[in-house]
């Protein structure tokens, strides 16, 4: 793959990852948060499910593998995205994107605790820097808003989903897993919407465009671009550029929503970006093939 092509696709996918937070924030006046998340992933899951069925991608043949996809969907789509959408009700898109993309740091921590995975010293330095960045980013806040808790929970759910995808991924086709985990997660989010909120969706031209962008560009196109890079390039090199996603999250929050770039956000965000870079940069040296499976999940933001 040429450098120009790699750079273009990388910038597109990480931009779609990061900018989705601002787009969701714009869409919240038109919809209750859980319903908007449900509609996004139901639509994306149906479209991608039709595609993987039409091209005859291998589907699970056992109830066990179907259940594994359901569990990953409940964490990756329902847990992560539900928390993100709820987080955006009380904190900025910049803050939510920074908190959510700390998930690689939690992967290292939980991988060590639950899977006894051994990581390099540089990765642990990245974890320390990233967590310090979270403290600095949120340290200027006088009150602990519930959105901060949801933002951190989204990273925790994402980390657990990544570890399960790494553990179970060899038995599942990545494209099929992506399609059905979005569909299953969308169903769970829809049920949660009717149980835990008063669902509403105001349909007009702007809300329709926002929903289509979130479902197609920020979900399907983003995933396809990221997985293409993983398949056709070096997974370690590719994943090291994940730090661009929270950068684009902060940038689009500032450009589209006028969110302030106060010093603690900039300093803390930079530390988190460096931490993400270090964690992903050295994974190639420890477990390249497993990392390829885990990093596929990064495309769903």
Task: Report pLDDT for 83.
Answer: 96
Reduced to 3 states (helix: H, G, I; strand: E, B; else coil), residue 218 is: helix
Sign of the Cα pseudo-torsion (132, 137, 140, 143, in order): negative
Spatial distance between the Cα atoms of 298 and 296, rounded to a whole number of angstroms: 5
Q: How much is the mean pLDDT over the chain? A: 86
Residues sharing a CB contact under 8 Å with residue 267, sequence separation 6 or more, in sequence order: 133, 136, 137
Reduced to 3 states (helix: H, G, I; strand: E, B; else coil), residue 300 is: helix
What does the block give as tokens for 209?
A: 């465009």
Higher pLDDT, 100 or 171: 100
The whole domain housing 40 covers: 3-300
Task: Report pLDDT for 214.
Answer: 96
Q: How many domains does the chain have?
A: 1
pLDDT per residue as tens digits for the range 200-250? 999 999 999 999 999 999 999 998 888 888 777 776 677 778 878 888 998
pLDDT per residue as tens digits for the range 74-125? 999 999 999 999 999 989 998 899 899 888 889 889 988 888 888 888 889 9
Spatial distance between the Cα atoms of 134 and 185, rounded to a whole number of angstroms: 27
Torsion angles phi and psi, residue 91, rounded to 5? -130, 170
Regarding pTM above 0.95, the answer is: no
Residues of the chain with pLDDT > 90: what percent?
50
Task: Report pLDDT for 236.
Answer: 64
Task: Report pLDDT for 300.
Answer: 47
Q: Quick one: average pLDDT of 269-285? A: 76
pLDDT per residue as tens digits for the range 118-135? 888 888 998 988 888 887
């Amino acid at each position: 793959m040429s450098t120009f092509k790699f750079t273009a696709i990388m910038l597109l996918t990480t931009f779609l990852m990061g900018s989705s937070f601002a787009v969701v924030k714009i869409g919240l006046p038109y919809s209750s948060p859980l319903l908007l998340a449900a509609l996004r992933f139901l639509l994306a899951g149906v479209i991608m499910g039709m595609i993987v069925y039409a091209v005859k991608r291998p589907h699970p043949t056992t109830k066990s593998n179907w259940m594994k996809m359901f569990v990953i969907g409940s964490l990756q789509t329902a847990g992560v995205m539900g928390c993100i959408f709820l987080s955006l009700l009380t904190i900025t898109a910049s803050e939510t994107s920074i908190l959510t993309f700390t998930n690689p740091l939690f992967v290292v921590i939980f991988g060590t605790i639950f899977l006894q995975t051994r990581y390099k010293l540089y990765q642990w330095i990245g974890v320390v820097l990233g967590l310090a960045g979270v403290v600095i980013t949120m340290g200027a806040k006088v009150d602990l808003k519930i959105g901060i808790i949801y933002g951190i929970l989204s990273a925790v759910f994402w980390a657990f989903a990544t570890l399960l995808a790494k553990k179970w991924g060899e038995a599942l086709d990545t494209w099929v897993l992506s399609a059905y985990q979005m569909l299953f997660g969308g169903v769970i989010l829809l049920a949660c919407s009717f149980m835990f909120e008063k669902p509403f969706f105001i349909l007009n031209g702007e809300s329709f465009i926002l929903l289509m962008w979130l479902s197609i560009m920020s979900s399907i196109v983003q995933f396809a671009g990221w997985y293409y890079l993983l398949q056709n390039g070096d997974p370690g090199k590719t994943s090291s550029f994940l730090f661009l996603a929270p950068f684009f999250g902060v940038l689009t929050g500032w450009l589209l929503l006028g969110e302030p770039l106060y010093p603690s956000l900039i300093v803390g965000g930079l530390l988190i970006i460096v931490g993400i870079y270090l964690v992903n940069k050295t994974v190639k040296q420890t477990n390249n093939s497993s990392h390829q499976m885990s990093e596929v999940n990064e495309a769903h933001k």
